[in-house]
Amino acid sequence: MARGVYIHIPFCHQICNYCDFNKVFFKNQPVDEYIESLGREIKMAVESNPTAYSNIKTVFLGGGTPTALSAEQLDRLLTLIVSYISLDDIEEYCTEANPDELTEDKLVVLKRHGINRLSLGVQSFDQELLKKLGRTHENEHVFQTIEKAKEIGFTNISIDLMYGLPGQTIEQWQNTLDQAFSLDLPHFSAYSLIVEPKTIFYNLMNKGKLPLPGEDLEATMYEMLMAQMEAHGLHQYEISNFAKPEHESAHNLIYWDNEEYAGFGAGASGYLDGVRYTNHGPLKKYMDAIDQGELPINHQSKVSLKERVEEEMFLGLRKTNGVNIKHFEDKFKKSMRDIFEGQINKLLNEGLIVETKDTLKLTQQGKFVGNEVFQEFLLD
């Protein structure tokens, strides 16, 4: 049974140099037709398996950029969503947004339809770095948009930041943190740059034209991030996420709790009834499948017990609360140590995890090498 719903809007007015998500340039795309296809996909899915969608707690619009849509297109999309998914028990209804696209008329539409959380892709407050990233907004867009959002009644607002950027200095990162804290927001996400294949940054890196900070400098930036978030009253509840009390991202916690969610839209992924699936990415393939009365699934696979156990560990360890030992045993009918005795002892000896009566979690040192810790829980 799905606890959350993810809806993918694959359109962007500008493609960022680091992004590897499924996206296309907005211009000359069948945007209105895509929105109607999305509505038909949701309708087919819910009607074919109503029980799976009977207890939805979160809805998340991602992309691409949902706010690449016009106010009228957003209104139509949100009308379709509520036509097929009950929002009666919804805890969090969130959309991603670009600061320079989230106009007042769009904010009004979002508020009217019950959106109660905004996640803005800010990334940096350094204009030079924003240009390197391929971002189009300026700092004043961020401040003006957040001020307008607050005026309209949005209180749960988050921004994304990035560090470990090409040529980024400690001073630039400190300035970005200072500007971010001046906004007095209840939530921040902050990610180190990962250079993904099929991106502009990847091509530049292969040509030796992407001057990335070294591991030591990146670690210093992460250390600054954690210390200053705590000093500003934002607790770290996941490796890259910080929140004031009761402002954690409910939707993302579904992923980290290894619970089920539905994915709709071109290239979207979902995890439902023990099956992970991915939709067709190309718009034509996605929309053609729906025109033929079929769910647009490109690939699906039953998640094995081995995979479920692995995912429980490496997703759960992302949370600062870690993996609950009793919950693990109740879920899998085996204790954590029955399966991972050697791995746990090794990581304890290395000081990368800590084991209490109730939980297994990363130490402060472990947070710096999280991916290495997670790999230890991949079973042969």
CA 239 from centre of chain: 13
Is 94 exposed, middle or buried, given 0-12, 13-18 or 19+ CB atoms closer than 10 A? buried
* Cα maximum dimension of the chain: 58
Amino acid at 222: Y
Closest CA to 279 of 2, 7, 1, 78: 7
Domain coordinates in residue numbering, the chain: 4-256, 317-375
Q: Please give the DSSP secondary-structure letter assigned to residue 48.
A: H
Residue 241 CB coordination number (10 Å): 25
CATH classification for the domain delimited by 4-256, as one of 3.10.20.30, 1.10.3430.10, 3.30.70.1400, 3.80.30.20: 3.80.30.20
Asked if 191 contacts 161 with a C-beta cutoff of 8 angstroms, the reply is yes
Bridge pairing between strands 297-302 and 275-279: antiparallel
pTM above 0.85, yes or no: yes
Bridge pairing between strands 297-302 and 4-9: unpaired
Angle between helices 104-112 and 139-152 (to 10 degrees): 40
Amino acid at 328: F
Is 27 exposed, middle or buried, given 0-12, 13-18 or 19+ CB atoms closer than 10 A? exposed
The rounded distance, in Å, linking the Cα atoms of 60 and 118 is 10
CATH annotation of 317-375: 1.10.10
The rounded distance, in Å, linking the Cα atoms of 187 and 316 is 20
Residue 9 host element (H or E): strand 4-9
Q: Give the contacts of 266 (CB within 8 A, at least 6 positions apart).
A: 8, 10, 22, 34, 279, 280, 281, 282, 283, 286, 296
The rounded distance, in Å, linking the Cα atoms of 146 and 325 is 40
The rounded distance, in Å, linking the Cα atoms of 234 and 145 is 22
pLDDT digit string (tens) for the chain, length 380 residues: 999 999 999 998 776 766 666 678 678 899 999 999 999 999 999 999 999 999 999 999 999 899 999 999 999 999 999 999 999 999 999 999 999 999 999 999 999 999 999 999 999 999 999 998 888 889 999 999 999 999 999 999 999 999 999 999 999 999 999 999 999 999 999 999 887 888 788 788 888 888 888 899 999 999 999 999 999 999 999 999 999 999 999 999 999 999 999 999 999 999 999 999 999 999 999 999 999 999 999 999 999 999 999 999 999 999 999 999 999 999 999 999 999 999 999 999 999 999 999 999 999 999 999 999 999 999 97
Handedness of CA 274, 280, 285, 287 (dihedral sign): positive
